[in-house]
């Protein structure tokens, strides 16, 4: 979902501290067996004040996601019929249909906003196109209302365009003020690894492939959107013998083997550890295309592209493919791609969890990103137990949300490591904290479960500050009879200098 660009300062918007304080009793469905969607609908219909809804707002329920007995019901919002960018929310209900938590992106009512544009869609599109170096395709332009934290709502023309920008391949959504013609914000959908490399091959692995006639395909037989393709022509790798690749890192089909193996293993991890059906939440994923002529890999909402290291080896390791598909998971949980410096840390947690789930002797699980290769002769590109070892920040500061997105992953990766492994490292390297405290880890399986369930409360107004609140709520929901998990989540955020938030959950 579109939000604003990363240059927006972190504000003080509150996630509505649920427990439903202040919500009318009539809005709290409590009868057993009430369908979660109906329960959420009833809550929305009662228009509690924390929705910041006017009489001109309407809400659209999206696909319900269930996890660990809780149903997460996302909603989008329209104002006078126009989509509200930043108007989304999630209602979490328990098995009895009772709402237990609500996260709301919008922080104030839209009020009385005229919805007649003063500039044309053509003029707005021209402004949008000027945000890229080259434009190869326009997906469309539509009128929206932008409800940005701490600012008055604006009518905007929203265009999504494809091409190249300063950072390379781009799929960019641009909001242009429909009254003044100014750019209100941009959102990049291409989320890359900043050029990691891995020529290493998983070796001899078992793959669940598809037989079509007399031809085998590198495509999952049960989940057909999970497949590996040659990026030249986008043809799914195929053959007559069901034997794939040759173990040589520069061989494109061998890269396809690694990528497909990781995608299937991650699919299994999501099911086994998190109860999620596929990377997209609906039993599928996206084609992984090997052959990008760049020291990089990316996800753009429709595909994953895998590039190569300086030795020409395709970089399809767990912490790269798992990371890119992690962007897809982020994109396909409420609120869309995480914002304000959190998107790369979110993807790294899924890369690490995938690597640990695979637990291959060819790639001993760790908390480095891209460690097997020498992309440019300097080993891994990120370090989760000591981000500063590779130039990223160990500790959160007020400038983190506006920093370069990969560097901004440092505090979040550090938090995840402390949550999973603790300061001792528990068999992994020791990790220091920003406040000289000692933390005992919960293990990576609990850590990723807390992370994922927090993402189900995500809105388009995500940030490190919100993730602190959402992960605390997730720990509380997942482990209702223990405060150990909650306290560890809290201690780990404090240990990376993400401060306590007004109204955050307590245990
Ligand atoms: Zn990334």
Name the residues around ion ligand 1, CB cutoff 5 A.
191, 344, 347
Residue 305 lies in a domain: yes
Q: Compute the distance from residue 256 Cα to the ligand 1 centre, in Å.
A: 19
Do 221 and 363 lie in one domain? The reply is yes
Q: What is residue 373's predicted lDDT score, i.e. its pLDDT?
A: 60
Query: Burial letters for 481-501: b for 16+ Cβ neighbours within 10 Å, e otherwise?
Result: eeeebbebbbbbbbbbbbeeb
Do 342 and 417 lie in one domain? The reply is no
CA proximity to 178, closest of 158, 151, 149, 152? 158
Q: Compute the distance from residue 483 Cα to the ligand 1 centre, in Å.
A: 32
Domain extent, residue 327, equals: 210-369
Q: Compute the distance from residue 16 Cα to the ligand 1 centre, in Å.
A: 29
Q: Compute the distance from residue 297 Cα to the ligand 1 centre, in Å.
A: 8
Last-in-domain residue among 313, 345, 369: 369
CA proximity to 320, closest of 404, 255, 231? 255
Do 248 and 173 lie in one domain? The reply is no
Residue 178 lies in a domain: yes
Q: Compute the distance from residue 66 Cα to the ligand 1 centre, in Å.
A: 26
Report, in angstroms and rounded to the nearest whole number, the Rg of the chain calculated over CA atoms. Answer: 22
Do 81 and 161 lie in one domain? The reply is no
Cβ-in-10-Å burial (0-12, 13-18, 19+) of 87 comes to buried
Do 403 and 341 lie in one domain? The reply is no
Q: Compute the distance from residue 170 Cα to the ligand 1 centre, in Å.
A: 13
* CATH code where residue 344 lies: 3.10.170.10
Q: Compute the distance from residue 323 Cα to the ligand 1 centre, in Å.
A: 6
Q: Compute the distance from residue 358 Cα to the ligand 1 centre, in Å.
A: 20
pTM for this entry: 0.83
Do 484 and 398 lie in one domain? The reply is yes
Residue 111 lies in a domain: no
Do 166 and 234 lie in one domain? The reply is no
Q: Compute the distance from residue 495 Cα to the ligand 1 centre, in Å.
A: 24
Do 484 and 420 lie in one domain? The reply is yes
What residue ranges of the chain have pLDDT lower than 50? 1-33, 193-201
Q: Compute the distance from residue 406 Cα to the ligand 1 centre, in Å.
A: 7
Q: How far apart are CA 102 and CA 491, in angstroms?
A: 24
Q: Compute the distance from residue 340 Cα to the ligand 1 centre, in Å.
A: 14
Last-in-domain residue among 104, 138, 162: 104
Q: Which residues are bridge partners to 84 per DSSP?
A: 145
Residue 11 lies in a domain: no
3-state SS, 348-363, equals: HHHHHHHHHHHCECCE
> 131-188, pLDDT tens digit by residue?
998 898 899 999 999 998 888 999 999 999 988 887 667 888 999 999 999 999 888 7
Domain count, the chain: 4
Residue 19 lies in a domain: no
Residue 478 lies in a domain: yes
Do 268 and 329 lie in one domain? The reply is yes
Q: Compute the distance from residue 488 Cα to the ligand 1 centre, in Å.
A: 26
Residue 442 lies in a domain: yes
Q: What is residue 207's predicted lDDT score, i.e. its pLDDT?
A: 87
Q: Compute the distance from residue 155 Cα to the ligand 1 centre, in Å.
A: 31
Q: Compute the distance from residue 467 Cα to the ligand 1 centre, in Å.
A: 18
Q: Which residues are bridge partners to 76 per DSSP?
A: 60
Do 182 and 218 lie in one domain? The reply is no
Q: Compute the distance from residue 333 Cα to the ligand 1 centre, in Å.
A: 16
Distances (CA, A) of 181 to 185, 297, 426, 473: 12, 34, 55, 40
Residue 234 lies in a domain: yes
> 457-489, pLDDT tens digit by residue?
999 999 999 999 999 999 999 999 999 999 999
Q: What is residue 200's predicted lDDT score, i.e. its pLDDT?
A: 42
Last-in-domain residue among 369, 401, 429: 369
Q: How many residues belong to the chain?
A: 507
Q: What is residue 32's predicted lDDT score, i.e. its pLDDT?
A: 39
Which region holds residue 430: left if phi is over 0, alpha if psi is between -120 and 50, else beta? beta
Q: Is the dihedral of CA 411, 412, 413, 417 positive or negative?
A: positive
Q: Compute the distance from residue 193 Cα to the ligand 1 centre, in Å.
A: 4
Q: Compute the distance from residue 286 Cα to the ligand 1 centre, in Å.
A: 16
Do 143 and 262 lie in one domain? The reply is no
Do 291 and 233 lie in one domain? The reply is yes
């Amino acid at each position: 979902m579109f939000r604003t660009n990363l240059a927006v300062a972190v504000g003080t918007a509150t996630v509505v501290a649920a427990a439903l304080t202040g919500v009318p009793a009539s809005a709290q469905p409590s009868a057993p067996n009430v369908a979660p969607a109906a329960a959420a609908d009833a809550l929305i219909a009662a228009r509690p004040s924390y929705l910041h809804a006017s009489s001109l707002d309407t809400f659209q329920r999206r696909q319900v996601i269930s996890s660990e007995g809780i149903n997460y019901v996302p909603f989008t919002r329209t104002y006078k019929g126009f989509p509200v960018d930043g108007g989304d929310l999630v209602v979490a209900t328990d098995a009895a249909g009772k709402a237990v938590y609500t996260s709301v992106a919008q922080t104030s009512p839209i009020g009385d906003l005229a919805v007649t544009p003063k500039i044309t869609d053509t003029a707005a599109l021209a402004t949008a196109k000027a945000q890229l170096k080259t434009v190869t395709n326009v997906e469309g332009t539509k009128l929206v209302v932008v409800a940005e934290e701490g600012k008055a709502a604006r009518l905007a023309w929203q265009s999504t365009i494809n091409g190249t920008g300063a950072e390379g391949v781009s799929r960019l959504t641009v909001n242009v003020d429909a009254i003044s013609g100014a750019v209100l914000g941009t959102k990049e959908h291409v989320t890359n690894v900043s050029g990691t490399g891995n020529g290493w091959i998983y070796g001899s692995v078992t793959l669940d492939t598809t037989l079509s006639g007399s031809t085998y395909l590198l495509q999952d037989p049960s989940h057909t959107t999970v497949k590996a393709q040659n990026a030249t022509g986008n043809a799914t790798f195929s053959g007559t013998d069901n034997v794939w690749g040759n173990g040589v890192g520069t061989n494109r089909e061998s890269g396809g083997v690694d990528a497909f193996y990781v995608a299937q293993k991650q699919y299994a991890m999501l099911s086994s550890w998190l109860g999620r059906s596929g990377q997209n939440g609906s039993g599928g994923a996206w084609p992984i295309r090997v052959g990008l002529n760049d020291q990089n890999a990316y996800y753009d909402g429709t595909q994953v592209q895998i590039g190569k290291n300086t030795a020409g080896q395709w970089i399809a390791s767990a912490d790269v493919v798992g990371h890119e598909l992690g962007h897809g998971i982020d994109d396909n949980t409420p609120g869309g791609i995480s914002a304000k410096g959190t998107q790369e840390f979110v993807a790294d947690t899924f890369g690490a969890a995938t690597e640990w789930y695979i637990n291959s002797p060819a790639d001993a699980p760790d908390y480095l990103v891209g460690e097997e290769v020498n992309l440019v002769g300097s080993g891994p590109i990120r370090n989760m137990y000591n981000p500063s070892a590779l130039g990223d920040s160990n500790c959160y500061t007020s400038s983190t949300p506006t920093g370069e997105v990969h560097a901004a992953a440092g505090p979040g990766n550090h938090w995840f490591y402390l949550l999973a492994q603790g300061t001792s490292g528990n068999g992994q390297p020791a990790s220091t904290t920003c406040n000289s405290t000692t933390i005992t880890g919960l293990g990576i399986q609990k850590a990723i479960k807390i992370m994922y369930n927090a993402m189900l409360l995500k809105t388009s107004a995500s940030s490190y500050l919100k993730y602190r609140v959402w992960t605390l709520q997730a720990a509380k929901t997942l482990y209702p009879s223990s405060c150990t998990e909650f306290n560890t989540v809290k201690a780990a955020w404090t240990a990376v200098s993400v401060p306590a938030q007004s109204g955050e959950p307590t245990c």
